[in-house]
Structure 1
Amino acid sequence: MKGKSFRYLWIGQALANSGDLFYIVGLMAMIHGITGSAMLMAMVPFLTTMARFISGSFAPVLMEKYSLKSLLASSQLGKTAVLFLLLITCYALGEQEVVTVYAIFGFVFLISLLDGWAGPASHAMLPRLVDAVELTKANSFVAIVDQLIQLGGWAIGGLLVVALGGRNVIWLTLFLAMAAAVFMKMIEDRHEAAREQKGEASSLNWPSIQEGWILIWKQPSLRAIHVIYVLETMAGVIWIAATIYVYVADVLHREEAWWGYINASFFLGLMLGGLFGMRAAELIDRNIRKFVVCSSFGISIMTFGFGLTSVPWLALVFSAGFGVFEQLKAVSLQTTLQRGVSVHLLPKVYAVQSALISLVFGLSTLLFGFITDEYGVRATYIIAATVLFISGCYAAIIRTRWPEAGESATQGGGRTV
């Protein structure tokens, strides 16, 4: 974990994540200032999800042609260029023109396409830069950094918008993307030399696109992990802003500030889970199957409690508890996946995972939004908790299908050095 390349990766990713968060806050402020429409503001996360699904689907073609380091750096450089064009467009059209909003949507889609391959490439790069025995600790550390950014970033972004204005926050994001690209370029990947090929552009390579899907379907451990991911992604949409807002108003009968308190307690739980993951990395490694099963049931219990309680302080406790169990489960599954797949196949697996989760999340948002409107927000949380309970039962039944520490998967597995 002390290697320079790992340090460059997490610093670059932290800068990129901070920039992404600030740019969303800045764009939301600009769209709200122009239109005042909540629906148009909601188009930003929708476009982001759909673009990442499309990009993630075709990411294996790029990963086969270029090194992960090049993809990470080019993603940030591409975002720098798109953000610059966005700013030029805003200056040209004016910040009070509705047409500016539709231009913003186009740029949001382009940026999210770039993110669609950056996320899988970053996840796949991590196990190349640390020793196998340090994977749990490294994943926990990266998770803590990410949650710190998420916990403080929205508040800082809001302050920056007030102090600088939405357009100047976009300028800040542009410089953060440039800095992230520099750090990504300094990474030294000992597993894969830069292999960018010059010449004619590659055509659509269907076998390359299908390889990750086929690997996940045929390898029992990967199939099991991704069934859990799909079930928990479906239920995870209960934590989006729209659902929490209804919960605070209809169940807790509190003012809007409690939406922020619940989110803060959730991210605090994620951080505590990450800290435990770092401190108890060896314990988790020895009992990684048990941690997946117990944390899956823990998430279900916390969701049931959260949905049924009308006591505000208990809601905060359940929200934090959900965060703790969610982080432990995420770190355990992440480490298991990284140990069970060759470092050369891992990028394609993560690309499939990104596309799959984006699609499931987008569709589940619509489904649970309908359930909330028709049957109330309590029903939403009870159904989500039931789905999470099913996920826990499934994890308990198939827990022997994935490797413990020191083992490797039988098909496409093992850490290829």
Structure 2
Amino acid sequence: MHAAKKSALRQPSFTNFWLSRILSSSSFQMLSVAIGWQMYEITHDAFSLGLVGLAQFIPMVLLTLVVGQVADRFDRKRIVLIAQLIEAVMAALLLYGSLAGWLGREQILLVAAIIGACRAFEGPTSSALLPQLVSPRDLPQAISMSTTAGQTAQIIGPALGGLLYSLGAAYVYSSATVALVLSCVLTYLISSQEQPTRRSEPISIRSVFSGLVFVYRHPVILGTISLDLFAVLLGGATALMPIFAQDILQTGPWGLGLMRTAPAVGALVMSIILAYFPLRKQVGITLFGALAIFGLATILFALSTNLIISLFALLIIGASDVISVVIRSSLVQLQTPDEMRGRVNAVNALFIGTSNQLGEFESGMLAGFVGAVPAAFIGGLGTIFVAGLWMLLFPSIRKLRSLS
């Protein structure tokens, strides 16, 4: 196992890719904490928090098919680099707006939308780029390490974002700007191990929708990623964390940072467990069981008035959620030909990203009508219901024995 880990990290391009992913993802998490807290400080409105999620969701939906085509036709490294550069400019703009005092609700929503558009390009293209950086033998290990990098960023980013925000929003935005610039440098240093020959297929309705068609024709992939979409859509309480932190748990930005970090800690622990004890038997049943636990943990978080209990619930949420991430990532990367990876990863990113952003919008809207606690409670019940329904709609997932 140690040899496998070394074989991937000994390749400079993968090391640069891995470090760039940590910096870029950490910056995004830091910005998410700062934007959410600053929006609530300005508006004290759950609807506005929901709009932040919607602002990031709309670009991802509108750009999905475009992203896939671009990633399969142009230099993937260059696409990732451009996206990171624009994100760095947006972080610098937030810094300037905070220092100058003109940053308001509309400006925050506009920047959130632009960052959402950049992430729409960066995520799928980065995933499609990864197989070009390592040999096929090292690809499963590289996928695992890349996932671990993402989870590490979700731990470092929110905690650092919450800590720095307690000193002032400018500290978060300046740190994120520097980290994104470093991420750009590392991405620039990447050189693909192999440049696959891609067919110059003319753009047509068929080629534009080919990623969706590929997913539709593979029921296990379709069922798995749609299950994740609806489960997170109903069970996601991320957008409500500023309300829980300030009004219910009565803690400050540091508490919000801990709350946003807790799911990533649980996910990281579970990813390590899965690395040493991989899913070999009854994968489908394990997936549905994990979703049920996800729903129950969400209900516990909704009812908790104690920070420790809330953090424990969020740990369980992250640990149970990472199971579907491992299953989906392995299926998408290992069963998709390179010339289709951009389009299929774009569809996959749409399900992942929109489930988070649209879930934040749904939670914010529902909380605006019934309150934060009932909204989170209803979301947990909805997740359990979806898990049961998908067991009936997709028997092929229920009968899944192994990832292969």
Comparing 378-387 with 315-324, greater Cα deviation is found at: 315-324
Structure 2 length normalisation: TM-score? 0.79
Structure 2 unaligned spans of 5+: 1-7
Counterpart pick for 1:324 among 309, 319, 322: 319
| Distance verdict in 2 for CA 1:133–1:231, change over 3 Å | farther
Comparing 254-263 with 226-235, greater Cα deviation is found at: 254-263
Q: Does 1:341 align with 2:336?
A: yes
Measure, in 2, the Cα distance between the counterparts of 1:234 and 1:33. Answer: 25
Measure, in 2, the Cα distance between the counterparts of 1:11 and 1:124. Answer: 17
- State the 1:370 CA deviation: 6.2
Q: Is the contact made by 2:69 and 2:342 (CA closer than 8 Å) also made in structure 1?
A: no
Report what 1:389 is aligned to: 388
Q: Is the contact made by 2:152 and 2:268 (CA closer than 8 Å) also made in structure 1?
A: yes
Measure, in 2, the Cα distance between the counterparts of 1:254 and 1:68. Answer: 44
1:40-71 CA-partner distances (Å, limit 9, x unpaired)? 45433321122222232321232233121111
1:88-142 CA-partner distances (Å, limit 9, x unpaired)? 5666xx30x46x5433432332222111110111222223334445444433333
Q: Is the contact made by 2:265 and 2:315 (CA closer than 8 Å) also made in structure 1?
A: yes
Report what 1:410 is aligned to: none
Report what 2:211 is aligned to: 212
| Distance verdict in 2 for CA 1:290–1:185, change over 3 Å | farther
- State the 1:292 CA deviation: 4.3
- State the 1:334 CA deviation: 0.9
Q: Does 1:66 align with 2:61?
A: no
Counterpart pick for 1:279 among 276, 283, 286: 276
The code of the aligned residue for 1:76 comes to: Q
Q: Does 1:114 align with 2:106?
A: no
What secondary structure is seen at the aligned counterpart in 2 of 1:344? helix
Q: Is the contact made by 1:136 and 1:278 (CA closer than 8 Å) also made in structure 2?
A: no
Comparing 5-14 with 258-267, greater Cα deviation is found at: 258-267
Q: Is the contact made by 1:53 and 1:358 (CA closer than 8 Å) also made in structure 2?
A: no
Counterpart pick for 2:61 among 49, 53, 68: 53
Q: Is the contact made by 1:14 and 1:149 (CA closer than 8 Å) also made in structure 2?
A: yes
Identity %: 17
Report what 1:174 is aligned to: 177
1:289-308 to structure 2, matched below 5 A, reads 290-304=282-296, 307=299
Counterpart pick for 1:188 among 191, 195, 220: 191
Structure 1 unaligned spans of 5+: 198-202, 406-417
Report what 1:153 is aligned to: 157
The count of aligned residue pairs is 385
1:22-42 CA-partner distances (Å, limit 9, x unpaired)? 333444565566556554454
| Distance verdict in 2 for CA 1:170–1:367, change over 3 Å | closer
Comparing 73-82 with 298-307, greater Cα deviation is found at: 298-307
Report what 1:242 is aligned to: 240
Comparing 370-379 with 337-346, greater Cα deviation is found at: 370-379
Structure 1 length normalisation: TM-score? 0.76
- State the 1:343 CA deviation: 2.0
Measure, in 1, the Cα distance between the counterparts of 2:298 and 2:106. Answer: 38
Q: Is the contact made by 2:229 and 2:354 (CA closer than 8 Å) also made in structure 1?
A: no
- State the 1:369 CA deviation: 5.5
Counterpart pick for 1:138 among 135, 138, 142: 142
Q: Is the contact made by 1:371 and 1:379 (CA closer than 8 Å) also made in structure 2?
A: no
Question: Considering only CA atoms, is the larger Rg found in Structure 1 or Structure 2?
Answer: 1
| Distance verdict in 2 for CA 1:223–1:264, change over 3 Å | closer
Report what 2:4 is aligned to: none
| Distance verdict in 2 for CA 1:374–1:110, change over 3 Å | closer
Measure, in 2, the Cα distance between the counterparts of 1:339 and 1:135. Answer: 9
Measure, in 1, the Cα distance between the counterparts of 2:285 and 2:147. Answer: 20
Q: Is the contact made by 1:296 and 1:392 (CA closer than 8 Å) also made in structure 2?
A: yes
| Distance verdict in 2 for CA 1:47–1:160, change over 3 Å | same
The code of the aligned residue for 1:268 comes to: V
